[in-house]
Amino acid sequence: MTFSTTEIALEVNDLEVSFVDSDGSLEVLDKISFSIERNAFVCIVGPSGGGKSTLLRAVAGLIQPTGGNVLFPGMAEDKAQTGLVFQKPNLLPWRTLRDNISLPLEIDQRPEAEISVLTQEMIRLVGLEGFEKAYPHELSGGMAQRVAIARCLVQNPEILLLDEPFGQLDALTRERMGDELLRIWNERRKTVLMVTHSISEAIFLADRVLVLTCRPARLIMDLPIELPRPRADAMRYLPEFTEAARLLHAQLKDTTVPACQL
């Protein structure tokens, strides 16, 4: 980790988000600050319902923060800076796999030829050749989530935001998708910010793991993961891995109860 020389891709300063509903104001994020180096893979863990998704949406610009700001140092303003992948694939059911992936380019009004080339490249990258004409209801959960990732990557965003993207998959598919994600990340270096509730998934994938508390969420831990890359399954049994898991688990256990029980 050479923080001094690497460029910062994302900077979150004193970010505050609160929602106003009938019961009054609900504070979700409480002065969260962190920054991410370019091309780093950072995971956020925290209790469910704690505001992790809110943080991601605020970074994506879908939620207006009540205080603080989100900066993308040294990036062109007009480019697609962030791409968001949701917990559910959220594909358009009336579009084929190919047309779901090409949607962002159509919205961006790129020329037809360019759309065709970029889309095909993405389909290859996520390993879905041969399924171009399939409709979303014909795809398995893992395949659909790959399409969602491809739809996000096709915009070539600077920062990839993943909101528990494998949360609805079974354990084995989930691990495979993790490997797949690292392979894609290797091929297309991107800054990644991913929310997950799996400690082991976070350690396996990330360079750094951030721990949020329960609502109102504060950042209480920023743990560097010192495992070499490329990551391999065997690393799950290294002492560094176990130690990181122990630290994160202890931290989460301390902060989860009792405020998160809603």
> Would you tell me which residues interact with other proteins (CB under 8 A)?
60, 62, 80, 82-84, 86, 88, 90, 92-95, 103-104, 106-107, 135, 137, 155
| 168 Cβ neighbours under 8 A, 6+ residues apart | 87, 88, 141, 145
By beta-carbon proximity to other proteins, the closer residue of 3 and 94 is 94
Alpha helices in the chain (DSSP H): 52-60, 97-107, 112-125, 141-153, 171-187, 199-205, 239-256
Residue number, 99 or 179, with CB nearest to other proteins: 99
Residue length, the chain?
A: 262
Instruction: State the minimum distance, in angstroms, from the CB of residue 149 to other proteins.
Output: 13
Nearest to other proteins of 19, 254 (CB atom): 19
What is Dmax (Cα atoms) for the chain?
A: 56
Min CB(78)–other proteins separation in Å: 10
Contact 39, 191 (CB under 8 A): yes
Rama region for 109: left / alpha / beta (φ>0; ψ in -120 to 50; rest): left
CB of 235 to other proteins, least distance (A): 33
**Complex with other proteins: residue 118 or 225, whichever CB lies closer:** 118
> From the CB of 110, what's the least distance to other proteins, in Å?
13
* Strand, coil or helix: 226: coil
When the beta carbons of 155 and 251 are compared against other proteins, the nearer one is: 155
Nearest approach in angstroms of CB 112 to other proteins is 16
Toward other proteins, which CB reaches closer, 155 or 191?
155
User: Is residue 236 within 8 Å of residue 242, measured between CB atoms?
Assistant: no
Q: What is the Cα–Cα distance from 14 to 254, expressed in whole angstroms?
A: 23
- Smallest gap from residue 5 Cβ to other proteins (A): 32
